[in-house]
Amino acid sequence: MAAGPYNYSYIFKYIIIGDMGVGKSCLLHQFTEKKFMADCPHTIGVEFGTRIIEVTGQKIKLQIWDTAGQERFRAVTRSYYRGAAGALMVYDITRRSTYNHLSSWLTDARNLTNPNTVIFLIGNKCDLDAQRDVTYEEAKQFAEENGLMFLECSAKTGENVEDAFLDTAKKIYQNIQDGSLDLNAAESGVQHKPATPRSPISNDQPPSKEGCAC
Amino acid sequence: MADKEQGDVSSQQNNPLSRKLNKILETRLDNDKDMLEALKALSGFFSANNLRSRRNLRSDIEKKSLAINEEFLSAFQAVKEQLDSVYGDVQAMNDCCSDMTNRLKAAKAQTHHLMSQTTKLHAESQTLQMKEQVANAFLEKFQLKSDEIKTLRGPRDGKLHEDFFKVLARVKQIHSDCKVLLRTNQQTAGLEIMEAMALQMESAYERLYRWTQNECRILTSDSPDISPVLCQALEASQDRPVLFKYSLDEYGTARRSAVVRGFIDALTRGGPGGTPRPIELHSHDPLRYSGDMLAWVHQATASEKEYLQTLLRLCEASNASFEELLGHITEGICRPFKVRVEQVLVSEQEAVTLYKLDNLLKFYHHTIGQIVSSDSAILTTIAEVQDLSHRMFFNSLSCHANRLLDKVDLPPADLGPTSSLTQTLQLLRDVLACHDASVVPVDDKKQDYKQILSCVIDPLLQMCSMSASRLNTVDMAAYMINCIYLIQSTLALYQFTDTRLEMLQAQTDAHVDTLTSEQAAYVLNRVGLTLLYNGVQQQAELQAPLSHLQGMDSITVKSAMNKFDSYLASPDSLTLPQCSLLLGTLVRETLKRRSVELICQAYQQMYAAITNPKHEYKDTQAIVPRTPEQVSKLLA
């Protein structure tokens, strides 16, 4: 069946977080449209983008929620963490303050998502190496200490943008494969669409309940 | 010699003998080969030249000739016989041939009929062949093949194959092609085929509908698996608007229940292992609780819209029906959502929280409004609860305002603001501050501010007036100025308060005016110039000179002027205590400046009167040693 871009077996939900002006929306735009948006307006609340990618032969639809970085939206954007399979935490390598705020973003992400959520640290604007304010090594160390994946990207040139999104998906897929991510549970941020036609009964299977961690 | 012979001929021409002789003589024997040959042959006849042979020459020759002729004869006899037999043969052949010719002629005559029949049949066969081709082509075009029919009827398990759509398209094509047939003289065929195709189509659509309906019915998982075949099926169903609509309704119902289930799960169950926690776990925190619900609704709406777009990507469904369907899908969560938010709103007393909720709802009304149409149930519901939150908020504000008026505090001794005023202003500050965090359009914000201000400021001013009602004029003016000053300085930080500020400024100005004249009067009174000043003011009506009036004689005036002089030395000594209680530095200075102006003006009038000879003051230089210019310089 030639279904083109509509055929996919999983949906992964992502959320992009980080300070205002670090280039979250530009990263999303670069990833979904493969273009750099020069005069990107401030995001109002939350915006939404999708793209279908392929990870080890599986078509996966990424449903990406791009949040506003402005403090005044914090209350609104916090509600979007729930059920995210991947969180892209972005800072701007030319502005130290955005890096310094990472721990608060990380706390939010840890508190509001599920334990299996893959958190990916992105140092954006790596094309502006001359104005660099945060070294690669420092951020790398931060990422390692906190068990995050890490890449420096540029939404402008597109460098590493693809990799950041794909690596996150690979990691999530790996979690599914090794069973650490329970697909049956609601709001895991991952939805599986079996390729074989399923019987209507299978849909009514209640999600397996795990012991409540809290 | 020839000449000689010629002479002979001419001389003996008429002599036959000579002619004969001549002839013999002229005969050239050596030239006559026949003669030579004959002579040669003759020479062989004779072996001996004797008399007898010479005499019998003639008969010998004749005999010889006879013998030869006989020989000829016998030889030719054989030839003749031979020829005769040849002739016989030829004759026989001729007979044979003519016999054959006859027989052929007969045969030809006999087969002529057959030939023409064959030709006819051949032509007929060609026509038939052509007809067969035409018929085949016709069938090819107007009939379904058996495997096509099989595809159309479908296998036992009811699965729909992609070929189904090709066949269905063919059936449709045939059906429409029949219209061409009906226009020709093949009407019967056209009608029959049309009928057959209509039947096929009917059953095919029936099957398509059943399949689509079934397929739609099971799309109840969190994310529906919309197969390409289903999209094709819906595309094909478009020809039957009713079936198409029913199929979509079925989809809508399935999705609607899926969304409701998802919502309830998110509310009560949460994620795997309780992370993310169920939304209801935060029901004690109105903002988070409502925010989480709204965010969930937002995400679900966006996802559902995408699924629907995927489902209908091949169809030309009108925008209206698309919106309607999306509205239907999201309609299910309206009730559980509304019940919860209403409960939050009703149990919330805090104006600030209510206002935050109001703004949150407004924000989501805007955000979700970009996804669904404005008349969808979910948007209407959000608008309703937003309206409720709006009302609850203003209700809470009015309650607060009413409480202010119910229990009016007395102004404190320092004429500063009462605690209820500062509390209310703090509340106002908090309320106005939360608008910073919201994303409501500027127009709304302006409208809101106007309403909030009138809801808070008017009762507040009323309360101040009421609490000031028992004070004397000066205290009241000072107190009101202080209250208004506080309100002003609170409002000045926010947008859209200009008109309010202007109004408040006007009120302040009125009170400042009162206080100014009170301050000036107080100074004049304390230095004992009131009487004189009043006299000066009324001098036009007076007949007598001022110095003749009681209390305005030179001595009294002089002592009063002395006191005034000491006031000039230390102007602050005669400031009203209320004036120093004023909170605003600017107001204080204005008040001071304007009261000084007033005093200078009064002094100038008094100075003019005293120095006027008409009033018969003596030694004016001693009474008023200072010119008005000097006074205003001193007081400046």
Are B523 and B444 within one domain? Answer: yes
Please check whether residue B257 touches A, CB under 8 A: no
Phi and psi of B537, rounded to 5°?
Answer: -65, -35
Q: What does the pLDDT read at residue B273?
A: 61
Compute the nearest-CA separation of A136 from chain B (Å). 32
Contact B229 A1 (CB under 8 A): yes
Please check whether residue A210 touches B, CB under 8 A: yes
Q: What does the pLDDT read at residue A208?
A: 36
A4: region left, alpha or beta (phi > 0 left; psi from -120 to 50 alpha): left
With a cut of 70, say whether residue A144 has pLDDT above it. Answer: yes
DSSP secondary structure letters along B195-213: HHHHHHHHHHHHHHHHHHH
Please check whether residue A50 touches B, CB under 8 A: yes
* DSSP secondary structure letter of residue B627: -
> Angle at the Cα of A212 (from A209 to A214), degrees rounded to 5?
160
Distances (CA, A) of B317 to B34, B228, B311: 129, 17, 11
Are B223 and B194 within one domain? Answer: no
Are B195 and B273 within one domain? Answer: no
Are B467 and B366 within one domain? Answer: no
The verdict on residue B614 lying in a domain is yes
Chain A residue closest in CA terms to B361: A76
Are B233 and B293 within one domain? Answer: yes
- Cβ atoms of B596 and B571 closer than 8 Å: yes
Contact B437 A188 (CB under 8 A): no
The verdict on residue B72 lying in a domain is no
Are B387 and B463 within one domain? Answer: no
Compute the nearest-CA separation of A111 from chain B (Å). 8
- Cβ atoms of A18 and A201 closer than 8 Å: no
The verdict on residue B489 lying in a domain is yes
With a cut of 70, say whether residue A198 has pLDDT above it. Answer: no
| Residue boundaries of the structural domains of chain A | 4-195
Q: Is B249 helix (H, G, I), strand (E, B) or coil?
A: helix
Kindly give, in sequence order, each residue whose CB lies less than 8 Å from that of residue B5, ignoring residues fewer than 6 positions away. Answer: none
DSSP secondary structure letters along B79-118: HHHHHHHHHHHHHHHHHHHHHHHHHHHHHHHHHHHHHHHH
Tens digit of pLDDT for each residue in A97-132? 999 999 999 999 988 888 888 999 999 999 999 999
Find residues 131-150 of chain A whose CB sits inside 8 Å of chain B. Answer: none
With a cut of 90, say whether residue A163 has pLDDT above it. Answer: yes
Please check whether residue B123 touches A, CB under 8 A: no
Find residues 509-538 of chain B whose CB sits inside 8 Å of chain A. Answer: none
Q: What does the pLDDT read at residue B446?
A: 84
Find residues 173-212 of chain B whose CB sits inside 8 Å of chain A. Answer: none
Are B400 and B544 within one domain? Answer: no
Q: What is the CATH number of the domain that holds B504?
A: 1.20.1280.170
Q: Which among A52, A79, A203 is the top mutation candidate for probing chain B, defined by the most B β-carbons within 10 Å of its own β-carbon?
A: A79
**CA atoms lying within 13 Å on the CB side of residue A42:** 11
> Angle at the Cα of B123 (from B122 to B126), degrees rounded to 5?
90
* DSSP secondary structure letter of residue A160: T
Please check whether residue A114 touches B, CB under 8 A: yes
Q: Which among B163, B215, B269, B275 is the top mutation candidate for probing chain A, defined by the most A β-carbons within 10 Å of its own β-carbon?
A: B275
* DSSP secondary structure letter of residue A111: H
Please check whether residue A42 touches B, CB under 8 A: no
Contact A46 B298 (CB under 8 A): yes
For residue B276, is the peptide bond before it cis, meaning its omega torsion is within 30 degrees of 0? Answer: yes
Contact A203 B218 (CB under 8 A): yes
Are B311 and B295 within one domain? Answer: yes
- Cβ atoms of A82 and B294 closer than 8 Å: no
Structure tokens at B339: 């019940």
Please check whether residue B253 touches A, CB under 8 A: no
Q: Which of B270, B275, B363 sits opposite A45 (nearest CB)?
A: B363
Kindly give, in sequence order, each residue whose CB lies less than 8 Å from that of residue B199, ignoring residues fewer than 6 positions away. Answer: none
* DSSP secondary structure letter of residue B476: H
Segment A66-70 shows an average pLDDT of 91
Domain A4-195 has CATH 3.50.50.60: no
Please check whether residue B274 touches A, CB under 8 A: yes
Phi and psi of B316, rounded to 5°?
Answer: -105, 45
Convert B537-564 into a string of H (helix), E (strand) and C (coil).
HCCCCCCCCHHHCCCCCHHHHHHHHHHH
Q: How far apart are CA B247 and CA B281, in angstroms?
A: 38
> Are β-strands A190-192 and A10-18 bridged in parallel, bridged antiparallel, or unpaired?
antiparallel
- Cβ atoms of A151 and A201 closer than 8 Å: no
Phi and psi of B27, rounded to 5°?
Answer: -65, 125
Are B201 and B241 within one domain? Answer: no
Distance from chain centroid for Cα B261? 31
Contact A82 B226 (CB under 8 A): no
Are B398 and B434 within one domain? Answer: no
Share of chain A above pLDDT 90, in %: 52
Segment A162-180 shows an average pLDDT of 90
Contact B262 A186 (CB under 8 A): yes
Q: How far apart are CA B376 and CA B155, in angstroms?
A: 41
Please check whether residue A182 touches B, CB under 8 A: yes
- Cβ atoms of B282 and B288 closer than 8 Å: yes
Cβ-Cβ contacts under 8 Å, A182 against chain B? 272
Contact A114 B275 (CB under 8 A): yes
The verdict on residue B138 lying in a domain is no
B43: region left, alpha or beta (phi > 0 left; psi from -120 to 50 alpha): alpha
Phi and psi of B618, rounded to 5°?
Answer: -100, 150
Better-predicted residue by pLDDT, A15 or A11? A15
The verdict on residue B558 lying in a domain is yes
Contact B296 A63 (CB under 8 A): no
Q: Shortest CA distance to A56 belongs to which of A169, A151, A153, A154?
A: A169
Burial of residue A128 (CB within 10 Å: 0-12, 13-18, 19+) is middle
- Cβ atoms of B329 and B263 closer than 8 Å: no
Q: Examine the predicted complex and report whether its ipTM is higher than 0.90.
A: no
Contact B360 A75 (CB under 8 A): yes
> Which structural domain range is residue B377 located in?
218-406
Are B547 and B486 within one domain? Answer: yes
Q: How far apart are CA A76 and CA A15, in angstroms?
A: 13
Q: Which of A114, A191, A211 sits opposite B222 (nearest CB)?
A: A191
**CA atoms lying within 13 Å on the CB side of residue B127:** 6
Are B335 and B401 within one domain? Answer: yes
- Cβ atoms of B230 and B215 closer than 8 Å: yes
For chain A, give the number of residues. Answer: 214
Sole residue written with tokens 């399923």: A198
The verdict on residue B350 lying in a domain is yes
Cβ-Cβ contacts under 8 Å, A207 against chain B? 265, 269, 272
The verdict on residue B290 lying in a domain is yes
Q: Shortest CA distance to B587 belongs to which of B518, B484, B493, B494?
A: B484
- Cβ atoms of A20 and A37 closer than 8 Å: no
Cβ-Cβ contacts under 8 Å, B287 against chain A? 75
Find residues 428-457 of chain B whose CB sits inside 8 Å of chain A. Answer: 436-439
Number of separate domains in chain B: 3
Q: Is A37 helix (H, G, I), strand (E, B) or coil?
A: coil
Please check whether residue A5 touches B, CB under 8 A: no
Q: Please tell me chain A's helix, strand, coil percentages from 3-state DSSP, rounded to the nearest 5.
A: 35, 25, 40
Find residues 275-314 of chain B whose CB sits inside 8 Å of chain A. Answer: 275-277, 279, 287-288, 291-292, 294-296, 298-299, 302-303, 306, 310, 313
Across chain B, which has 636 residues, the per-10-residue mean pLDDT values are: 52 74 76 77 72 77 86 92 94 95 92 91 95 88 79 72 82 82 79 84 86 86 80 85 89 92 88 73 91 92 89 82 90 94 92 90 90 90 94 92 85 87 90 73 81 89 88 89 91 87 92 90 87 81 77 83 86 84 88 90 87 82 84 83
The verdict on residue B180 lying in a domain is yes
